[in-house]
Every structure is written in structure tokens, then in C-alpha cells.
Amino acid sequence: MTSQESLLSAFISRQRALLKRERDADIERSSLLLSNCGPKLLEQKGLALLGLGIVGINIGLGGKTLIELERPSAYHTSPVFPPHTLRNGDIARIEANVSSSAAAKKPKKPTGSADKDKDAQAEGVVYKVSETKIVIAVDPSDSSSDDLNLPERCRVVKLANSVTYDRMDRAIDHLERAVLQTSSSSNDKDKSAPPELTPLIQVLMGMQRPSPKLSIPPLQFFDDTLNPSQKEAVRLCLEAPEVACIHGPPGTGKTHTLIEIIRQLISNSSTRVLVCGASNLSVDNILERLLALPVLDNGEKHKLKVTRIGHPARVMAHEGILESTLEVKASKTDQAALAKDVKNELEATLGVLSGKGKGAGKGAKGKPRGAERKKMWEEVKALRKEYRQREGGIVTSVLGESQVVLATCHSSGGRQLRNHQFDVVIIDEATQALEAVCWIPIFKAKKLILAGDPMQLPPTILSLDKDKNKKGSKDKGAGSKGKKDSKTKKPAAEKAKPGEKKGATVNKDLPNDKDGTPPPDSEDDEDSGSESDSAEADAQESPNASTSKPESKSASNKKTATVTYPRPLRPPHTLETTLFDRLEKMYGSSIKRMLEVQYRMHEKICDFPSKTLYEGRLGSDERVKGWLLRDLVLEGNDGGLGGMDEDEAKEVLATPVAFYDTAGCEYFERIEGEDGSDEGSKSNENEAQVVVRWVESMVNAGVKPWQIAVITPYQAQVTLLTTLLRPTYGPELEIGTVDGMQGREKDAVGISLVRSNDKREIGFLKEKRRLNGGNLREFLAINANSFYGCLRSTVAMTRAKRHLCVVGDSSTVIHGGSYLKKWMKWLETNADVRYAGLE
Ligand SMILES: Nc1ncnc2c1ncn2[C@@H]1O[C@H](COP(=O)(O)OP(=O)(O)OP(=O)(O)O)[C@@H](O)[C@H]1O
């Protein structure tokens, strides 16, 4: 084996081992839950829906059987489901709804076990879910769920999603076969010819340098309002032969820039673009903006030919979204009528067989049995085959005509896109996607554009939590995600001892690197610098310059070391290292552009993140840099000053950043745990009262509740604040962890930091990406002993547009590592500091 081959093998083995560990952690989490909890408890935890009846059986794309379930009025007073976590794409099982007492009499079988009661259950994917109806798509090729002999009364239980892992594993197998040019990977049985080793794959895997820039004609921007850094990013992406990255800090117009790139790419050629996102929301966000655009084509206005694969997360947001789905488009083709006849026949036969859907005349008890049933199943199989063939032709023609196809990274690996190739693949939110999931669409194109912000939240990794739990980590806040942040400066106590290889404890069970391969990618080549390094060292180099110096390295490195790019491929240290991170490290700034003007925040709100996270280069657009609540209220917020004295109101509204410091007040946190251990979520009653007073002053001064959000990292504090604020201000005032807050912004944002104790302990607030985090995400954290079924929110200082108010105990928070220490110092100097106890 050459040294390059052993390097590639080491990288692939590490990816596989990390993915396996992640899959195991996920399975362990689900099966622990499923085997430990009865159905009632599962429903309470949002993982099951009980007492459902089947109301319809239809056929969806791919010949899948769509089983519709609702809450029958016979069992429930309300048809509305209780709160649950079943979402599109989740794997779920429909099973008999036996009562707990009946189940207790039977010998116990773990609900999550593979040993299935085949007669009374079917496994599938959540296809659609509304307040009152859930549709599960069952794949007929999974023979165990073919017979649909489902019970009268069912429940739906959420299962571990192995499909995602299977697709990622296959992508890594594919990668191995491509880079080593073997006909089979060490992991799979596929003996076909190895996939083409394109220049893109070679660049991504460090086998060749990026090729010289493409020469492109002078650019005519569709949107001439793009700022210079956005235009630069567009140019970089168009000129890059293989790969380009856009670094978009919060509110800098990342999506805006991507839209221009897509328009440029498809404007004058037959270029086809696959646009992927880490989440359905990010895909829909781009789709919505594309649908709003007219495109000039031969002098005439035409809508873009856009197709969305998979089910949109927000169907109602834009009427065109649903119209753009492959499903709806396919149903409108000329060939669709023929397929529809087959589909109707198929649905009718299935209805008879299940005794439920269309064609079921005899009721559940009159379902055909024996030979008659067998014969009907043969018919179903033949009809399904015919339907699939017809439908396959339709799908190919719809996709073939599309200039832009949009899908999540995961769903780009589905049957519909099999054998479809594109010129360019764009991955949005790439800094929140595992590298392996990015490879699913990468194989479908010759060129890759990644967009994201490595300074916001990394992908959620469950296996890191396991490691942390094993190591006795105490804090189980939203930060039970892994801690590693490639840019996070660690406080001295957390740094490795001299000679100790960082990551050694985490990776004990991973395969050793072969001789001669570089050590795993770790934090040791960065971020060991002093606290003050970031801002001043940043001034030395432009992030957009093609340079041989690394960006944001430790102070000493920055001052002395010159790094030669490209740097070799390294096996990842953790799955939190994204493809974006890795490429940045391998090729430096030559393949990346940072967007440098933000359009969201008052410049004061932007100042701290800019200095500490973005090397002081995040500027504010003229229109937003000075905007205050005062302007909002006085200029047509149709309201008076809510009874507040005008001068007083003006003062309240004229402050971009306020800090209520509770240091010395002894406003101590409370730990919400069954056993009172430090494991539980935390709340802070006195601090919550300060937040209430802040909200009161805002509203009294004329700010509307819908213009305000309160964010806190702890679920217990969210609950407390909700109890205190909701009765007065209603649901318009957003509090904490609502998943719909992802990517949102508010005019006034209050952050309640909660932590205050005399031990000076502070847990997951340490993660600086979490504080900056542009995305609020829900996170179900589970460990071996207990289930934290709460939806957590990310504290996001960059959500605020005109006013940010921080409430917390600086004397505790200052011990949360260098980033928080810096933040507390910054607040002391720059914010309007109000000592909570005195006011
Ligand atoms: N060149 C520009 N001129 C004027 N406004 C702009 C420009 N670029 C972006 N914006 C505005 O800035 C806001 C943020 O843009 P966009 O949603 O594209 O940013 P983003 O980086 O994708 O956001 P997020 O931080 O949520 O990821 C939008 O209101 C957008 O209209």
C-alpha cells in the first residue's frame, strides 16, 4: 500500500468507526427507552401515539403503501394528537394497541426488539403529520410489512432511524471504492466496477490540489445590491473548478448569495444544480426564495424549473412549495393518468385486504382469508410492479426537465435520484451536517459548493454524550451535545497536559492509524492560544486573501508559523469535524470566502461576536448599524408608550445592549432533579423575576410582545418563564426552546443565563458556538439512567436586532471558560450595566 492509500484507508476506517459508534449510541438510546417505558410513558415522552385507527390506505411515490391513522372519537374526546416528536422521515412502527395490563400478562418482549409480531405490525417512515392525522409510508419491498393485517386499534411508536446510518455507510463504502479504485469496499458486497474517481473527489480527499480557476466572462449580477463580499463569494463559486466554501456569519445573506449563485449557474447553459440542506427547513428556505424569482430566459420571463424531493417541512409557508414537489409535479404529467388507473386499482385491492381503506366493503372482520387472500396479494404485487414502472418513467421525465432539484442530503440518496447526475451540488448548513451525509449528494456532481458557519452549532453527536457521561460529566443542559469546537479556545484546566495527545480518551476504542499516517485531526494544531489572541491576530490577515497562513490559529502560531497548503488529509477526531471544517484546514482561505456585512443587528450587538468569533471582520450594514427600539416604537409601531413617561421610555428604548448583573445578589440557581443531583435541568427564580421586569419595561415603553423573545439554555427556566410571562403576554412573546424559532430574529431578545452558585460551577454555557448559535435546535438528551425529554434551546445572542438584554450572575458565569469571561468583561465595558439587586 502506498502512503497515500494508507492515509485514505485510515480516514475511511475512522469515519466508519465513528459512524458505528454513533449508530450504536442512537440504537442504545432508543431501545433503552422502548424497553424501559410502557406505551403510556412513551406517549408522554412524545415517542408514541396511542389509540389510533386506520382511516385510509393509499399508494404514494415508489409504490409505497401510505397508511393514514387518526384518533377515533370512540377512544378520544379530542381528535388532536398530544405533543409528540414524530416528524417527517422518522422511522415508526404501527403495532397493536394492547392495554398495559394485557401486555403485562404476556411474557415481556422488548418493544424495540427485532423479534416482531408480524401479524399485527408494520414498520415504515413518517410521511406526513398534521395535528390530527399521521401517515406512515410502508415500503412493500420490506416483506415483513407486506400483508397489512393490521389491528383495529393501533399505536405508532418512533424507532431508531437506521436508514440514515445505512445511507451514510453506503456513501463511505462508495468513497472507499472510488479512492482506492477497488471493485468492492472492505465493508460491502458490491462487486461492480469502482465509481469514477473525479477531480472533485480527489480534491476533497487531498489526492490532488484544486485546479486553477476557471475563466468566466465578466459577471452581470442578477441582484446588483449584493455587497462586495457577497459578490466575491459568487465569483469564487463560479470560478472554482471543484469546490468552494461560503462562510456566512449570522444575518450576512448566505441564502441571498446562494440564490444569486444558483441563478448564475443556470442562466445561460444547460447546467443542472442539486441543492441540498442539512434539514428540511433549510431546503424549504431556499426553495421559497427561488420560487419568488422570475428568471430571464431568451428575453422572456420564465419561472425556474425547480423540483423538491421529499416532503416540505412548512407546506403552508408558500403556496408554490407544494406545487414544486416531485409528487405533485409527477401527478400533473400526461402519463400520470395511466399510472393513476393502476394506482386506483391497487388502492382498492389493498383496501379490501386490510378491511380499512377504499374498496373495503365488508369491514375489518370480513377481510378475505386463505387462498382468496393469497390470490389478491399476487395481484397487488403485479399491480405494484406495473405502477412502479410507469411512475419511474414519469419521475425521470420530471427530474430530467428540472434545472434545480432540491432535497435534504439524506433524501438525495433515495430511489428517485438514483442514476441522476448534476453539474453542481450545493450544500447549505454544511457546518451542521456530518461529513458522511454530505457524501451522499457529492457523488452526484462534478463540483461542490458548501455554505455554512463553522462558528455556529456543529452537528449533534450522541456518542460524544456517551463519552461525556462515562467520564462523569455532570451537566446535562442543551449542551449535552459534544463540546468540541474547532475554534473554541479552551480554558487552561481543560487543555491537555504536555505530552498528552488530545482526544486519546475519546478515541480509545477507535482503530489505530496505520504507520506513517498523520495523527487524527484534533485540536492540537489550533486554539491553544491565549485568550486575547483571536481579535488582534486576525488583523494580520484577510480571511478572503489566498494565503499560506492559517486562519485563527493560536497567537504564537500566528506570529511565527507559516502553514503550507494543502495540508494532508487526516482521520477525523470526532464526527463534529465537518467537511467544511476539514476543507478549510486542508486548503486554507483559497477555497473560502467570508461574508462580511450583516443585515440583522445593531452594531453594538454585533461587536462581541464579531471580535471574538469572526476576527473583527463582521461589519454592519448602514441600514441596521444604528437601529434601536426607539425608532421602531416612535416610527409607526402604532402604539403609544404604554403609560410610561416619554423620557423614561426613550431611555429604555435607546439601549442596544443591557446587562442585568445579579452578582452578589445570591440569586442562586435551582437544580430540578428527581434526586437533587447536579444532573437535572436548572432554573433561577429570582433571575426569572428580573426577566419579567425587563419584559414589562419593554412593553410599557411600546414594544409589542411579538417583537420580543426570551431565550435561556435550560428547559426548567423556559418552563418557569412561560408560567410567569404567558398569562400576561400570550404566546406571541416567544420563550426559549420552540423549534419554530430556528433561524429567527427578534427586535428585542432577553437571555437568561440561569447559572449562579457559590461553587462557581458552570456547565454547558461554556460552548461558545451555543451562545452565538444562529439556530435554536431541539435536542432530546438521554443517558443510561434517565430521560431528558425536554426540548432544549440554544442561547443565541445574534438573534437580537435592536436590543439585547443579558441577565446573569457575572461572578459565576466568569468561571465558564475564557469565552464567557471575555463576554462578561465586554458586557461590563460596553453594555448598559444594571445591578439587578439594586433596582
Ligand atoms: N446585499 C444585501 N442588501 C440588502 N439586504 C440584504 C443583502 N444581503 C442580505 N440581505 C438581507 O439580510 C437578511 C439576511 O439574509 P439571509 O436570510 O440571506 O441571511 P442568512 O445568512 O441566510 O441568514 P441566517 O443568519 O438566518 O443564516 C435578509 O433580510 C436579507 O434580505
The 10s digit of each residue's pLDDT in 725-739 is 999 998 889 886 534
Helix (H) or strand (E) holding 322: helix 319-323
Read off the pLDDT band of 322 (50, 70, 90): confident
E-assigned strands of 309-444? 404-408, 422-428
CA atoms of 623 and 557, how far apart (whole Å) = 38
Q: Which atom of ligand 1 is nearest the CA belonging to 256?
A: 18
Contact 737, 652 (CB under 8 A): no
Q: Which residues, other chains included, contact 409 with Cβ-Cβ below 8 Å and sequence gap of 6+?
A: 276, 277, 278, 427, 433, 437, 438, 440, 441
For ligand 1, atom 10, the nearest C-alpha belongs to: 253
- DSSP output for 488-544: PPPPGGGSPPTTPPTTTTTTTTSPPPPTTSPPPP-GGGS--S-TTHHHHHHTTS-TT
pLDDT of 711 strictly over 80: yes
What average pLDDT does the segment 633-644 reach?
A: 63
pLDDT of 128 strictly over 60: yes
How far is Cα of residue 47 from the mean position of the Cα atoms in its chain? 20
Q: Which atom of ligand 1 is nearest the CA belonging to 248?
A: 21
Q: Which residue has the cell 482506492?
A: 180
Q: Which residues, other chains included, contact 700 with Cβ-Cβ below 8 Å and sequence gap of 6+?
A: 641, 642, 643, 644, 649, 652
Which parts of 37-99 fold into alpha helices (H)?
Answer: 39-44
Is ipTM beyond 0.95? yes
For ligand 1, atom 15, the nearest C-alpha belongs to: 253
Q: Which of 227, 230, 256, 742 to mutate to test the pocket of ligand 1 (most atoms within 8 A of CB)?
A: 256
Read off the pLDDT band of 264 (50, 70, 90): very high
Cα of 248 vs centre of ligand 1, distance in Å, is: 10
For ligand 1, atom 26, the nearest C-alpha belongs to: 743
Cα of 698 vs centre of ligand 1, distance in Å, is: 26
Cβ-based burial of 521 (10 A; exposed 0-12, middle 13-18, buried ≥19) = buried
Residue 452, CA distances (Å) to 250, 251, 254, 342, 595 in order = 10, 12, 8, 44, 11
What average pLDDT does the segment 454-463 reach?
A: 74
Residue 525 is predicted with a pLDDT of 40
What average pLDDT does the segment 180-207 reach?
A: 82
CA atoms of 429 and 458, how far apart (whole Å) = 10
Cα of 64 vs centre of ligand 1, distance in Å, is: 39
Cα of 259 vs centre of ligand 1, distance in Å, is: 11
Cα of 677 vs centre of ligand 1, distance in Å, is: 44
Cα of 251 vs centre of ligand 1, distance in Å, is: 5
Which cell is 477 given?
443542559
Q: HSE (CB half, 13 Å, CA atoms) of 378?
A: 6
What average pLDDT does the segment 189-208 reach?
A: 87
pLDDT of 622 strictly over 90: yes
Residue 58 is predicted with a pLDDT of 82
For ligand 1, atom 5, the nearest C-alpha belongs to: 599
Q: In this predicted structure, which of 12-21, 166-175, 648-657 has the lowest mean pLDDT?
A: 648-657
- DSSP output for 616-638: T--EE-HHHHT--HHHHHHTT-S
Q: Which atom of ligand 1 is nearest the CA belonging to 745?
A: 26
Q: Which residue has the cell 499560506?
A: 548
pLDDT of 131 strictly over 70: yes
Q: In this predicted structure, which of 215-224, 401-410, 758-767 has the lowest mean pLDDT?
A: 758-767
Residue 128, CA distances (Å) to 48, 60, 313 in order = 15, 11, 9
Across 195-204, 261-270, 351-360, the highest mean pLDDT is recorded for 195-204
* DSSP structural state of residue 839: -
Residue 739 is predicted with a pLDDT of 44
What average pLDDT does the segment 57-69 reach?
A: 80
* Residue, of 141 and 169, whose pLDDT is higher: 169
How far is Cα of residue 287 from the mean position of the Cα atoms in its chain? 17
pLDDT of 1 strictly over 50: yes
Cα of 72 vs centre of ligand 1, distance in Å, is: 46
Q: Which atom of ligand 1 is nearest the CA belonging to 259?
A: 18
| Mean pLDDT across the chain | 75
Helix, strand or coil, per DSSP, at residue 297: strand
Residue 108 corresponds to which amino acid? K
Cα of 478 vs centre of ligand 1, distance in Å, is: 27
For ligand 1, atom 1, the nearest C-alpha belongs to: 226
CB atoms within 10 A of CB 42: 21
Residue 202 is predicted with a pLDDT of 97
pLDDT of 213 strictly over 90: yes
Q: Which atom of ligand 1 is nearest the CA belonging to 798?
A: 25
Cα of 255 vs centre of ligand 1, distance in Å, is: 7
Neighbouring-strand partners of residue 49? 156
What average pLDDT does the segment 675-688 reach?
A: 71
Q: Which residues, other chains included, contact 678 with Cβ-Cβ below 8 Å and sequence gap of 6+?
A: 474, 475, 671, 761
What average pLDDT does the segment 626-646 reach?
A: 74
CB atoms within 10 A of CB 332: 10
pLDDT of 97 strictly over 50: yes
Read off the pLDDT band of 344 (50, 70, 90): confident
Read off the pLDDT band of 188 (50, 70, 90): low
Q: Which atom of ligand 1 is nearest the CA belonging to 250?
A: 25
Read off the pLDDT band of 764 (50, 70, 90): very low
Cα of 428 vs centre of ligand 1, distance in Å, is: 14
* Residue, of 562 and 238, whose pLDDT is higher: 238
Which cell is 432 given?
451542521
Q: Which of 222, 252, 742 to mutate to test the pocket of ligand 1 (most atoms within 8 A of CB)?
A: 252
Q: Which residues, other chains included, contact 324 with Cβ-Cβ below 8 Å and sequence gap of 6+?
A: 287, 291, 306, 307, 308, 406
pLDDT of 625 strictly over 80: yes
φ/ψ of residue 187, rounded to 5:
-110, -25
Each residue's pLDDT tens digit, 781-839: 222 122 222 222 223 678 899 999 999 999 888 877 777 788 889 999 999 998 776 54
Contact 732, 675 (CB under 8 A): no
Residue 332 is predicted with a pLDDT of 79
What average pLDDT does the segment 531-547 reach?
A: 33
Read off the pLDDT band of 483 (50, 70, 90): very low
CA atoms of 570 and 549, how far apart (whole Å) = 19
* Residue, of 166 and 344, whose pLDDT is higher: 166
Read off the pLDDT band of 356 (50, 70, 90): low
Cα of 706 vs centre of ligand 1, distance in Å, is: 21
Cα of 246 vs centre of ligand 1, distance in Å, is: 14
Residue 708 is predicted with a pLDDT of 95
CA atoms of 91 and 162, how far apart (whole Å) = 8
- Is the peptide bond prior to 566 cis by the omega test (within 30 degrees of 0)? yes
Pairing of strands 306-308, 300-303: unpaired
CB atoms within 10 A of CB 785: 11
Read off the pLDDT band of 139 (50, 70, 90): confident
Q: Which atom of ligand 1 is nearest the CA belonging to 775?
A: 26
Helix (H) or strand (E) holding 58: strand 48-59
pLDDT of 93 strictly over 50: yes
Residue 147, CA distances (Å) to 65, 69, 142, 143, 150 in order = 11, 17, 10, 8, 8
CA atoms of 532 and 615, how far apart (whole Å) = 11
What average pLDDT does the segment 396-421 reach?
A: 90
CB atoms within 10 A of CB 526: 18
Cα of 625 vs centre of ligand 1, distance in Å, is: 14
Q: In this predicted structure, which of 166-170, 214-218, 521-525, 538-542 has the lowest mean pLDDT?
A: 538-542
Residue 164 is predicted with a pLDDT of 84
pLDDT of 380 strictly over 80: yes
Across 245-254, 286-295, 749-758, the highest mean pLDDT is recorded for 245-254
CB atoms within 10 A of CB 770: 25
Neighbouring-strand partners of residue 650? none
For ligand 1, atom 7, the nearest C-alpha belongs to: 253
Q: Which of 599, 606, 621 to mutate to test the pocket of ligand 1 (most atoms within 8 A of CB)?
A: 599
Q: Which atom of ligand 1 is nearest the CA belonging to 453?
A: 27
For ligand 1, atom 8, the nearest C-alpha belongs to: 253
Cα of 741 vs centre of ligand 1, distance in Å, is: 17
**How many residues appear in the chain?**
839
Residue 189 is predicted with a pLDDT of 61
Helix, strand or coil, per DSSP, at residue 401: helix
Each residue's pLDDT tens digit, 542-552: 334 333 333 44
pLDDT of 298 strictly over 80: no
For ligand 1, atom 16, the nearest C-alpha belongs to: 253
For ligand 1, atom 9, the nearest C-alpha belongs to: 253
* Residue, of 210 and 34, whose pLDDT is higher: 210
Q: Which atom of ligand 1 is nearest the CA belonging to 227?
A: 1
Ligand 1: residues within 6 Å at CB? 225-227, 230, 248, 250-256, 599, 743, 774
Residue 639 is predicted with a pLDDT of 53
Contact 156, 134 (CB under 8 A): yes
Residue 644 is predicted with a pLDDT of 66
What average pLDDT does the segment 613-635 reach?
A: 91
Cα of 775 vs centre of ligand 1, distance in Å, is: 15
pLDDT of 494 strictly over 70: no
pLDDT of 637 strictly over 50: yes
